[in-house]
Chain A
Amino acid sequence: MGELLVWPALIAYGEAAVAYAGILRGHGGSSTRLGIWGVRVGWLTQTALLIVQALDSDGFPWGTWAGALNLFVWLVVGAYLIWGCTPRYRLLGLAVMPLAAVLLVTAWAGGGTGATAGDTPGSLLALHVGLMLAGLAGLTLSAGLAGLYLWQERRLKQRDVTVLRLRLPPLEALERLSARTALVSLGVLSAGILVGLGSFERGDFDVPMAVTLAIWAYYATTLILRREGGLRGRRLAALLVLGSALVAVVLPLTHFAS
């Protein structure tokens, strides 16, 4: 029965995505309000779904790729809700909410929203998975902000005449926020890796671990270059978007391909 909660969550996320798209058609105020409420209702419903899953499962219910995707969507929307779900960043919702709806459908199709027998991986591994997913969710949000930066920068470069009618957050604010989000996410990812190392044994080192460390190194280098090498603007935003795209493609292949 608990799995039925996925539908109201999906409807709310879909409604938010459609409402945010309405901003582009000039329905600013009402669309923003509807969008924000869709995000809130959808996230609360998905929270209820996750609680039901946790109660119904014997072990950790999000160990499969679909289950992890379900949790990942919840974390991404949660991060957006805390970090940017305001009228000022309403167009970020246009990037986040359609993605959240599509990923949740994918999770549902893969059986990640129902009760499962679950693995019994121990609390350390559950914490490791949770922190890793939270870190990746933050990096996705950071990529969303960077994407918004690239769009705004393009509009300003091309001298789009509607640049003052359909207002995005200022470029500097977008750059600062995307970098900070990436930094916080990298911290969470680092914590996840350290927790994972707690259960590491000699000879366990495999491709997923190598990929995870490579992703960590990629973001760490990018952020160090920003701080020390003056890597800013378009190039920084492009690297954050590229990083998120690499994560989206490579990580599922290495972690769940089998």
Chain B
Amino acid sequence: MRLALVGVSHRQAPVELRERVAVDAQGAAALARELAGGPVPAGCEAVVLSTCNRTELYLAAAGSGRQLDEQASESLLALAGDDGAALAPLLYRLGDDAAALHLFRVAAGLDSLVPGEGEILGQVRDAFDLGTTGPLLDRLFRQALHAGRRARVETAIGESPASVPAAAAALAQQVFGGLDRHSVLLIGAGKMSELTARNLRSRGAAIAAVANRTAAHGEELAARVESRAVALDEIPALLATADVVVTSTSAPVFVVDQATAAAALRARRGRPILFVDLAVPRDVDPSLSAIDGCFVYDIDDLEAVVQASLAGRRVEAVRAEQIVAVEAERFREWQASLAVVPAIASLRARAEEIRTGELAKAEGRLGRLPESERKLVESVTSQIVAKILHLPTVRMKEAAAGADGVIYADVVRHLFGLGEEEQS
């Protein structure tokens, strides 16, 4: 069985070309079925992985890898339509071990724009579910998912946030722990504010209110985050109850200054409050951070936290690469062992044939034995055959992992005359 991968990703192709070959879930399933039933050898397997950063076709079949390559390339270029000529030089083609290693790296998030991003593992799983798989791609994708999970569990590659909204939400958790019983006040209805609100909500926080100068915008955002819109003059009262305050207005002066905050903080009776100030110029007076229990992060602070997190991810990526390499080597060994499987199966079949043949010859004498003793003879002879064949089987599989697997298989076929009777 040969494995072929043809794809295009953010590393080579701009979004204008990537979007031409992107397919949705239904399209991926249909394309996989089409490829599996195409003019390639019978029993072909196909999986289409299509995300915003890549579209990759994985094919596996017996026979020539070049034929698989051509089939996959044609399909991908056909998807691009008129842009096929521009796309052709940007395609990458990988086979067998290199293709497997690539998929393992993709699943671990090592080939992503942000190393270790978590979404890709789910996308690989979806592609696998929608694909037309057989023994090779089934094993390949299962092992890729395992490698992806290991990379995330055994390293911290996916732990730290990779965006400003995620960093803001993670900081809120560093102050409050679980956000289930904590509320958020949004001041301003900007895009970043909404993304941060979504991040906080995904971690359990409730958006208490959206305060915005333009009431209509505030109401729209409030509807999207299941909250209520309030006027700006309600902010001082809301500061007494909200635990996280996200600001993103275009006001030229501080929206939350010392005077506004002081009364509210007294009412909080020492409960901490986190200000996430995404606005430029800033909305929150930075001197508030001097107050006990009051934490203020502006956009530069958050960017710096994200950069430090990304640097940490790059360090962890080195460890993740080692895990991926180990998993890729395991897959290579398994794939190589496939070369000796027919020889092993023939050897076992031949041994079983001899065993049952000899028992049949002795049937006259064995027939006089009670049923329990006949079963004992069956069992003992089976065990003898299994024990004799155990070591050669193990050795052949070990040899298969190296370059000698096929030679071993040929030697076994020759020594035991496997397949000769069929030929004669």
Residues of A in contact with B (beta carbons under 8 Å apart) = 26, 28-29, 152, 156-157, 159, 161-165, 167-173, 230-235
Contacts and interface: CB of A to CB of B under 8 A. Distances in A.
A165 B309 contact: yes
A186 B118 CA distance: 46
A122 to B, nearest CB: 46
Interface string B260-272: 0000000001111
Contacts of B174: 152, 156, 163-164, 167-168, 170-171
A255 to B, nearest CB: 35
B210 interface: no
Residue among A165, A233, A235 with most chain B CB within 10 A: A165
A222 to B, nearest CB: 13
Interface of B: 154, 156, 160-161, 167, 170-171, 173-177, 269-272, 289, 292-293, 295, 297, 301, 304-305, 307-309, 312, 315
B171 A164 contact: yes
Contacts of A156: 171, 174-175, 295
A44 B291 CA distance: 45
Interface centre among A156, A169, A230 (most CB of B within 10 A): A156
A28 B177 contact: no
A164 B167 contact: yes
A14 B175 CA distance: 31
Contacts of B305: 159, 161, 163-164
Given A164-B160, A164-B161, A164-B167, A159 B177 contact: no
A171 B154 CA distance: 26
B160 A172 contact: no
A164 B175 contact: no
B361 to A, nearest CB: 62
Contacts of A169: 177
A203 B308 CA distance: 64
Contacts of B171: 156, 163-164
A77 to B, nearest CB: 26
A21 B293 CA distance: 28
A171 B272 contact: yes
Given A170-B176, A171-B176, A232-B269, A161 B304 contact: yes
